[in-house]
Structure 1
C-alpha cells in the first residue's frame, strides 16, 4: 500500500543520512528503531482476520497507550487531574479523530456506533486532562475533516460557528486555557511555550547544511551543543525534517504525507477510512507542535505507524 511504501522510502533516506550525520551511531539507532516500530505495528494487525477485530485492536491500542502514559506521568510527577502531557494528548487526539469520523458515518451497526462513542468519550477525557493546546487543535482539525468527507452539513455549520465564536471571544478562551493549564502564563501560551527560540536556532543551523541536513534526528543535538537552548526534540516535524534531512528529506516526507492522505481520502467510502483520514489530518496538524516523525521515537510515533499500517489491513479484510 502506498502509505507504507512511502513511509519506508522516507526512512530509507533517513538511514542513508547516517553517512553524513553529525552523530552517526545515534542517527542509525533512531532510524532503525522506527523501522522496528513499523514492522511491529504491521505484524500486530496481521494477526487479525476481520474488520471488527482490527478496528477494536486499533482503538484499544491507542487508548491503552494513552492511559498508561497518563498514569505513568502522574506516578512520577503530580497527581493533579490536569497535567501537561503532550504525548498523551496527541495519541488521544488520534483516537478521538478516528472514532469521531467513523461514529458520524455509522448508521446501521448500533453496537459499533456505541463502541466508537464510548471510546471517543474516553479519548476526549484523556485529551482535555492532558492540557496540550496543539493536540486539542489537531483533534478539532481531524474532526472537521471527518465532517467534510461525510457530508454532514449540520456538523460542519456547528464547527464553523464554534470557530467564529472562538475568534470573537478569544480573550475569554485564553482565560479558560489558563485555568485548565496550571503553571502556564498568557505569554507562554501565546508564544507556543517559548518554542520560537528553539525553532530560530534550528533554522540557523539548518542553513549551514540546507540540501541534506545534519543527519536524522541530529539537528536537535547540534542546537543543544552549539546553540542557545537545550532540547531533545524539535517540537515541529517540518523543521525537524528540514534541519536533519535537508530539502531532500522534506521532499521524501512530503511525498509520504501527500500520498498517505490522498490514499485514505480515495478510500474514504470504505469502512474505517473516514476515521483514518481524520486521524492523519490530526497527525499532520499535530506535527507543528511535536517532531514525532523527524526525531526521537515516542508513543505518538508508534501510534502514527499504527494508523498508517492499519489501512492496509482494513483493505485486506474487506477484499475477502
Structure 2
C-alpha cells in the first residue's frame, strides 16, 4: 500500500532527517568481471548530485542497485532508511530512464492517469504536466511525441507520487537547448523544496551548471566526489587558447610543461602546467594573438581522472575528494 511520503520537509526538520541515499561497500560482479568495486555513496536530502563516468564505469549498475533492480553481491544500500524496494513501494523514489515505459497508442494524459492508478495517493495530473511543461500536448498520442517530449512525460510520471528522490538517467536526451534549460529550472525548484536528485548525464556542461556535487566513477570505483570547483582543482595547470594560423602541434607539445595540444582551425587549445612560460613563448616567439588563459574545465578533469593510461590514472578517491562523503 502506498503511503503519503514526507520527504519534502521544512528546515525545522533538517536536524532529524535521514540520508536520501546511504550505500556502503557496494560490490557487484558479473561472472569474473567486477562492475562495482566497493563504493561508498551518501547523498543528503535536497542535494542535486551528478553521477558521471565513461561507459563501463559502473554508473548504471550502481543506479540499478539504488532502484532495487539488482542486489549487491556485497555491501549495503538504503534509501530514506529503507531498502530500495520498500522505498519505491512507498512512493519515495522515482526514476526517469532514457527508454521504455511508455505505451505509444494512448495519450499523454491517459498515460498519467494510468500511472496514477498504481498508487493510493498522487499529485494531480494537471499539476505534474504543468511542472513538466507538457500541458499543451495532453491530448497527443505518445507515439506522436518527440523524443524530448517523451522524456518530459517520463519526468511528469516520476513526479506523480511526489517522491523524495528522483533518479535521472540521461534525462534531457532529445531535448533542445530551451527544453533542457526549462527542465533543469524545474529540477532546481523541486530541490529547493527538499527533493533530492541524482542524475547521470553525458552533458558535462549540465553537471557543471546544475549540480551541487559531482560523483565521478571509473573502473567500478569512485575516483572523485565533491563540488564542481573542488573537482576542477584536482587537476593542476591551466588552459591557454590563442589564434595561431598554421600552428605546429608537435612543436607546441614539446614545450616545457605542455600536456596536450588541440588544433581547432586557426585556434590552438593548449593544456599546460606552466601557463606563464607558455604565454611568454607564444607572444615573443610566434604570431599568436587573442590569447585566453582559463582554469581547467570539467571536461579536461573528466578525461584526466578517467584515462585508461596508467601513467595518468587518478589518485584513490580518499585522496582526491572532500572526504569522499563516506
Provide TM-score, normalisation by structure 2: 0.24
Larger gyration radius, structure 1 or structure 2:
2
Give the structure with the higher percent strand: 2
Provide TM-score, normalisation by structure 1: 0.25
Determine which structure has greater relative contact order: mean sequence separation of CA pairs < 8 Å that are 6+ residues apart, divided by chain length.
1
